[in-house]
């Protein structure tokens, strides 16, 4: 499966009827992050899943990493807001 397709699928699953598809989404997100640990959309998606599960410290780590990689965009702003 192509990486771009994996990212789109995983991010769609994060927000589609949470937490119903979170397990499937995490498998795909982790697969992409193993290949590219600096993939900002996947870091954000993983952070959202962790946040939903109440794993605040782990979610904060994901959002902090995403913000450090892309602080000058709308995604960076979202990461900063979610981290707070």
pLDDT in tens, 22-57: 999 999 999 999 999 999 999 999 999 999 999 999
Structure tokens at 5: 């397709």
Cβ atoms of 83 and 63 closer than 8 Å: yes
pLDDT at 65 > cutoff 80:
yes
CATH of the domain at 34: 1.25.40
**Number of domains the chain is built from:** 1
Domain range holding 39? 3-83
């Amino acid at each position: 499966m192509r990486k771009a397709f994996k990212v789109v699928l995983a991010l769609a699953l994060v927000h589609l009827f949470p937490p119903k598809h979170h397990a499937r989404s995490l498998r795909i997100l982790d697969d992409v992050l193993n290949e590219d640990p600096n993939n900002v959309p996947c870091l954000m998606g993983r952070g959202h899943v962790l946040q939903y599960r109440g794993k605040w410290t782990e979610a904060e780590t994901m959002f902090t990493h995403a913000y450090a990689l892309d602080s000058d965009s709308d995604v960076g702003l979202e990461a900063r807001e979610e981290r707070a």
